[in-house]
Structure 1
């Protein structure tokens, strides 16, 4: 892999960028951004970061929504970010269910592997922002720098961090927007 000078940032979607739901976010109307998340992505993008989304979307396997619905949600997200002067470089998603045995469903690293291949870079040292243990564990397995946000499932996850020796020092922020100054000041590619 080559060092392209890329300043990559990997974000989970549900609970980090948009409201999460135990009943799944199934269509464009249910996809509602969290306060400040769109501005956060735009700010990162405007300051030279390549923002990539890595998200489990088992609602596809469960037939709760189809690919057109998912693409419409992502088009809405991208359009909102573009309206703020930023961009989303790519969205990588796992369409499988929890029992499908795939390599892309977080906490496995397949989505991050795909991001590395697509951008011809490595994820070591790259900030990965999530709200669940599986997000952070996927990042740790690839040498990413995990960041937890308290939105979505983040408050519950925060209470579990101390039990994970590899995650006990994870920086925690109230929201993606609150994490932006830390990301901008701290992270560049390490490989």
Structure 2
């Protein structure tokens, strides 16, 4: 089994103007990210999302709005023949000391339990260091996506040991699933070097 646990913001979609996505209108896919998910799906990978949503805990939006954002995400994925099997989210504000807020590993543990997956079968792929820290607890492969990372230089990000860096999700998928004859890619699949 192969499972990709994706961070949402900065990996599948652009960061919102306020640093979060509170409505479907604010959800804009990262170029080529949805097609990358489609390739993983076609290759038999399980693709899920694990995301911190502190805006819920802070009252900036509610679960109905969050579900509407994810419904838009799923519609846009479906339009390119892709799908995310499940979305796991932490609804807590940072000061609530929960176990599910990344870098806490509870979301990743729930995903591993649901799929019966072990660390080496899991790829934690995201634009947030907290996402990789959560994956490291399970012994997952760690991949930092730089395409629309938070406004911080990749040289300033203290990634967990063993993390790889790629410019975007498409480049990660090119590494995981080498292109077959006749398939073209807009992004070089080599890891980013800094």
Q: Report if TM-score (shorter chain) is over 0.5.
A: yes
Q: Which 5+ residue runs of structure 2 have no aligned equivalent?
A: 179-194
Give the deviation of 1:160 after TM superposition.
3.7
Give the deviation of 1:152 after TM superposition.
2.6
Residue 112 of structure 1: aligned partner: 108
Distance verdict in 2 for CA 1:182–1:155, change over 3 Å: farther
Residue 78 of structure 2: aligned partner: 82
Residue 15 of structure 1: aligned partner: 10
Give the alignment's Cα RMSD to 1 decimal. 1.8
Residue 59 of structure 2: aligned partner: 63
Structure 2 CA distance for aligned equivalents of residues 157 and 67 of structure 1: 32
Residue 182 of structure 1: aligned partner: 175
What secondary structure is seen at the aligned counterpart in 2 of 1:79? helix
Distance verdict in 2 for CA 1:34–1:112, change over 3 Å: same
Q: Which 5+ residue runs of structure 1 have no aligned equivalent?
A: 1-5, 186-191
Residue 135 of structure 2: aligned partner: 139
Residue 33 (str. 1) matches residue 29 (str. 2): yes
Residue 44 of structure 2: aligned partner: 48
What secondary structure is seen at the aligned counterpart in 2 of 1:111? helix
What secondary structure is seen at the aligned counterpart in 2 of 1:159? helix
Distance verdict in 2 for CA 1:157–1:50, change over 3 Å: farther
Residue 152 of structure 2: aligned partner: 156
Structure 2 CA distance for aligned equivalents of residues 138 and 123 of structure 1: 11
| 1:57-101 C-alpha deviation (Å, 9 max, x unpaired) | 011111111111111111111111112112211110000010111
Structure 2 CA distance for aligned equivalents of residues 22 and 133 of structure 1: 20
Number of residue equivalences: 177
Would you identify which runs of 4 or more consecutive aligned residues in structure 1 move more than 4 Å?
none
Contact 2:7 2:128 in 1 (8 A): no
